[in-house]
């Protein structure tokens, strides 16, 4: 199968076999890199990187990834473009796609990546939107595979805000046959539309979604424990309120003890220690958080090569 020329906006747009194709190739790309093999499918090619939101991992992994693939990446920050203010998204997509080979965008509204894809003549990769974070999920699933676990049938527990990361874990996890459990306070759970999608798709894949307010219920017997910050970028004004609402929604030694003995712990970073996760757990033998961060590089390299490489 080929996903060459495809946009990568959400994992919902891909079949389970296509997602596994990306993941299997990510493992291969990582092996090649570690063994010092040169692999340059993007030789002479350019990626435009649009950033409405700053990021350590997203910028470094995409820019480094393009370099290692033989190409180059151009950083375009908020002041460089004025996305939707100085120029329309349509005009930006048409101009960029006439001069580069692939576009990555890290934005607020998901409609922006959809509009970029609609008007671009080259593949558009969603580096993050408020709705979904599919590149992060690829790195997450790669890390789970590297820990020696299968994907189908495992219990993946997410504790925290029902945000873009939670959505991506659900989209990919359900398609791959996982049993995804989310523990979030009332009013902060994943939307009903996401839950309805999971129920419908789970009938075919064997996956399932459980949504609960109970951290104890969610973490018990988990193969994977996952969390994210209580207040994401753009929600700074809600930080004080969220700090009160999310008290107890934490991956700590007590939560880890309720999971399976060989459970792994994941966090997409940056972490706020002693809020959503304790430093003790981050430094524990169960943690794969920094392997997960590294895998952003390898998963995205595989994705770029498959959608835009020679």
Catalytic residue among 6, 59, 101, 136, which? 136
DSSP sequence for 266-298: EE-S---BTTTB-HHHHTSTTB-HHHHHHHHHH
Is 135 marked active-site? no
Q: Which of 133, 260, 288, 298 does the annotation list as catalytic?
A: 133
The two structure tokens encoding residue 247:
């008290």
In the residue annotation, 195 being an active-site residue is answered as no
| Residue 201 falls in which region: left (phi positive, over 0), alpha (psi -120 to 50) or beta | alpha
Known active-site residue 268: yes
Long-range (24+ apart) CB contacts under 8 A made by 29-37 are 29/298, 29/301, 29/302, 29/305, 30/142, 30/295, 30/298, 33/68, 33/298, 33/301
Catalytic residue among 101, 228, 250, 292: 228
Catalytic residue among 57, 59, 106, 242: 106
- Is 296 catalytic? The answer is yes
Among candidate residues 268, 275, 288, 300, the one labeled active-site is 268
- Active-site annotation holds for 140: no
Which residues participate in catalysis according to the annotation?
A: 106, 133, 136, 228, 268, 296
């Amino acid at each position: 199968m080929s996903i060459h020329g495809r946009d990568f906006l959400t994992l919902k747009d891909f079949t389970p076999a296509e997602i596994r194709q990306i993941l299997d190739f990510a493992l291969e790309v990582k092996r090649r890199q570690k063994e010092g093999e040169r692999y340059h499918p993007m030789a002479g090619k350019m990626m435009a990187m649009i950033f409405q939101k700053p990021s350590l991992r997203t910028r470094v992994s995409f820019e480094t990834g393009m370099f290692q693939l033989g190409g180059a990446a151009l950083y375009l920050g908020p002041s460089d473009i004025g996305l939707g203010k100085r120029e329309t998204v349509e005009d930006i997509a048409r101009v960029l796609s006439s001069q580069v080979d692939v576009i990555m965008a890290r934005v607020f509204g998901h409609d922006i990546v959809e509009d970029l894809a609609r008007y671009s003549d080259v593949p558009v990769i969603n580096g993050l939107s408020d709705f979904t974070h599919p590149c992060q999920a690829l790195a997450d699933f790669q890390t789970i595979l590297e820990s020696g676990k299968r994907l189908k049938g495992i219990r993946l527990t997410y504790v925290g805000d029902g945000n873009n990361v939670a959505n991506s874990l659900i989209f990919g996890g359900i398609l791959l046959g996982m049993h995804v459990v989310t523990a979030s306070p009332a009013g902060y759970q994943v939307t009903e539309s996401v839950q309805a999608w999971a129920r419908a798709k789970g009938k075919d894949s064997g996956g399932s979604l459980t949504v609960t307010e109970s951290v104890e219920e969610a973490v018990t017997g988990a193969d994977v424990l996952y969390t994210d910050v209580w207040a994401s970028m753009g929600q700074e004004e809600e930080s004080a309120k969220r700090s009160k609402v999310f008290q107890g929604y934490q991956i700590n030694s007590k939560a880890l003890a309720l999971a399976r003995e060989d459970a792994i712990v994941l966090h997409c970073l940056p972490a706020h220690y002693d809020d959503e996760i304790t430093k003790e757990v981050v430094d524990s033998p169960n943690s794969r958080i920094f392997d997960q961060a590294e895998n952003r590089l390898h998963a995205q390299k595989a994705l770029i090569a498959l959608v835009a490489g020679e």
